[in-house]
Amino acid sequence: MIDHRDQLREAFEKHEDLAPDPAQVYARVQELARTYRRRRRGAQAAGGAVLSAGLIAGAINLPGLLTGGPQAPAYVVGAPASPSAPPSEAEQQKDWDAYFAAGYDYDDALELARIWNLTGDVGTVKAEAGRRLLAGETLPIRPGTAPSQEPSPDPESAEAAQVDAFFAAGYDYNDAVKLAELWKTSDPYQAKVEGGKKLLAGETLPIKP
Amino acid sequence: MTVTFEQFVMARLQSLLRYAVVLTGDRDLAQDVVQEVLARAQVRWRRISGADSPESYVRRMVLNEYLSWRRSWAARNVHAVGERLVDLDDARGGGHDHAQDVVDADELWNRLATLGRKQRAVLVLRYYEQLEDEAIADLIGCSPVTVRSHASRALKALRLTSEGQDRMHAEEKS
């Protein structure tokens, strides 16, 4: 009798050659990577205007996306190159280029924001870091050394916990299919998420495991 | 010496694509997942190339991408494959030769498409990647007990669990 390990291994190995053409995949990767780089710079451009306003005042305490402690002191950025005029779009672009050219990335910007007690759009942090690099300053961390935000064990950890709760309660895929029909969710996976959410909230599901 | 992104892709892309195919069970989805992951990896390659094992890092990204993928492909595939499985089961004979093994492997591959993503991932990581349950738990972000539970349910759904294996999994879970 064939062991289930061997059966599964055989099934996997027999079908792994269905893999798509690597050359085609690589070409698409290059296209996507260019898009991501453009998006990153676009996000920085949006943040740059906020930074400029902060520079005029000589200090910034950026609201919003990056959360610092509620009592976190505003970080004094330092005098801008030209206090009477905000940096132009071209100048901001130079700051961002300097930041990336030095090898820094998104995670580094998060770490710099933490060190500098900045709160606000991460793009503004990159721009500020780039400005400092162009001014000949050394940043407090080396490029690419900040703790990584990716890959996490599961990008949707709350959702993963809900699915775990679903299975832990004894439900399985077939139950999810039934629940998906009952709840009219888009697919069984969403039913697992919804079911897990209800179980974690102490509710019971309309079917038994 | 640091490996460039291009060197990494030259050496490992084929293997990554095979892994993605086995993981997703879907050629097109495998392509989408690997493309997405490698594009992100290229943008942040300096960091990834500094990891202890860039390949493990990227394979983990592939796993995460698959587990979090938002598409309704699963539901569609499940119904289509489920219908075919009934036919396959009815036609299945008792003999066991090489041709039968090939049919069995195809049949099992189709059955794998009926599993939930985590259940399938656990089986792939266990039997294709040959990882221990503790390592799988770390990758998926759950406990080893939950990994065993996923595996047990998956094997049961695939009708691969003998009575002895049932007992073994019951003991593992207790």
Based on the structure, what is the number of domains in chain A?
2
Full domain range(s) for residue A183 = 157-200
User: Out of A11, A32, A107, whose CB is closest to B109?
Assistant: A11
**pLDDT for residue A74 is more than 90:** no
The pLDDT assigned to B11 comes to 93
Instruction: Clarify whether residues A120 and A170 are in a common domain.
Output: no
Quick one: which of A126, A138, A121 has its CA closest to A94?
Answer: A126
Q: How far apart are CA B80 and CA B12, in angstroms?
A: 33
Instruction: Clarify whether residues A32 and A110 are in a common domain.
Output: yes
Which residues lie closer than 8 Å to A130 by C-beta, 6 or more apart?
Answer: A94, A95, A96, A97, A98, A99, A102
Cβ-defined contact of A189 to B74 (cutoff 8 Å): yes
pLDDT in tens, A172-184: 777 888 898 888 8
Instruction: Clarify whether residues A191 and A127 are in a common domain.
Output: no
* A172 located within any domain: yes
- The mean predicted confidence, pLDDT, of chain B is 78
Q: How far apart are CA B144 and CA B57, in angstroms?
A: 21
| pLDDT (mean) for A76-104 | 61
Residues of A in contact with B60 (CB under 8 A): 151
Burial of A162 per CB tally in 10 Å (0-12, 13-18, 19+): buried
**pLDDT for residue A60 is more than 50:** no
Local mean pLDDT, 10-residue blocks, chain B (174 residues)? 89 95 91 90 87 91 83 41 39 53 81 91 95 92 90 88 48 44
Instruction: Clarify whether residues A35 and A124 are in a common domain.
Output: yes
Chain A interface, best mutation among B26, B44, B133, by max A CB count within 10 A:
B44
Cβ-defined contact of A18 to B13 (cutoff 8 Å): no
* A142 located within any domain: no
Give the other-Cβ count within 10 Å of A178's Cβ.
15
The pLDDT assigned to B23 comes to 95
